[in-house]
Amino acid sequence: MSVINLSSGPQKDTLAAAPTPDRLKKGERVAIITGDHVEDLEFFYPYYRLNEAGYDVDVFTLNDEKFKGKTGYEFKAAHKLAVARPDDYALLYLPGGKAPAELRKHDEVINFVKQFAASGRPIAAICHGPQILITAGLVRGRQMACWPEVQEELEEAGGTFVNEALVIDGQFITGRMPGDLPRHLAGVMDALEGKLDLREARGERKSA
């Protein structure tokens, strides 16, 4: 199977220059953290939806080699997570599949997510993506959607499982499964476009 190059232009060894404060406020850069065995749809859909809307999307893995989705698609990652700076991004997206179970084992991932969360900017996670938020200690007192098999773990960590396609609680935007992607991404786009006051969005539930 051919490799899907995630860059629309020539591959570069370094990230683009950090955005100016005005660019950052407009939400023109988004970070996705993923790895092998990601749920393909949960990567494809947000990656292309955000690109189509004009956002610069940087994909990060623990290395800069190819990573493979659950169904066999191979992707050429753009950047190593080690070069990422949380302050450069307006939103962090965590796709699901089996990738989060491995990513959560690495301090590099957890530290980045914690630093990003401290900024108050939106974090979107779907399916098994909230497993990373659980390990980062960010779910206590929060209402979140996730893959049903993650429900018990979420609740043990102090979160509340909500069986909806889109759940917004503060800066966290979560969904359950691939079929939730249209509604989930609508919430993500609203956050990036400033249509949500994430400081006030406490336990807001949106059904499909």
Q: Give me the long-range contacts of 115-121 (CB less than 8 A, separation at least 24).
A: 115/86, 116/31, 116/86, 116/89, 116/92, 117/171, 119/86, 119/87, 120/171, 120/198, 120/199, 121/89, 121/90, 121/91, 121/92, 121/171
Residues with Cβ < 8 Å from 162, sequence gap 6 or more? Answer: 143, 144, 145, 203, 205
Tell me 178's DSSP state: G
> How many residues does this entry show for the chain?
208
Can you tell me whether residue 110 is helix, strand or coil? Answer: helix
pLDDT digits (tens, 9 = 90+) for 69-78: 998 888 887 6
pLDDT digits (tens, 9 = 90+) for 9-54: 333 433 444 444 444 444 489 999 999 999 999 999 999 999 999 9
- Domain membership of residue 45 as a residue range: 3-206
203 burial class (0-12, 13-18, 19+ CB within 10 angstroms)?
A: middle
Diameter of the chain by CA atoms?
46
pLDDT digits (tens, 9 = 90+) for 108-128: 999 999 999 999 999 999 999
Number of domains in the chain: 1
Rounded mean pLDDT, 50-63: 93
What pLDDT does residue 206 have?
52
Rounded mean pLDDT, 74-83: 85
- Exactly one of 37, 79, 106, 128 is catalytic; which is it? 128
pLDDT digits (tens, 9 = 90+) for 91-109: 999 999 999 999 999 999 9
What pLDDT does residue 197 have?
76
Q: Residue 15 sits in a domain of what CATH number? A: 3.40.50.880
Please say if 184 is a catalytic residue.
no
What pLDDT does residue 17 have?
41
Is 0.95 surpassed by the pTM of this model? no
Q: Which tops the pLDDT comparison, 203 or 143?
A: 143
What pLDDT does residue 145 have?
98
Q: Which tops the pLDDT comparison, 77 or 8?
A: 77
Gap between the Cα atoms of 145 and 143, Å rounded: 7
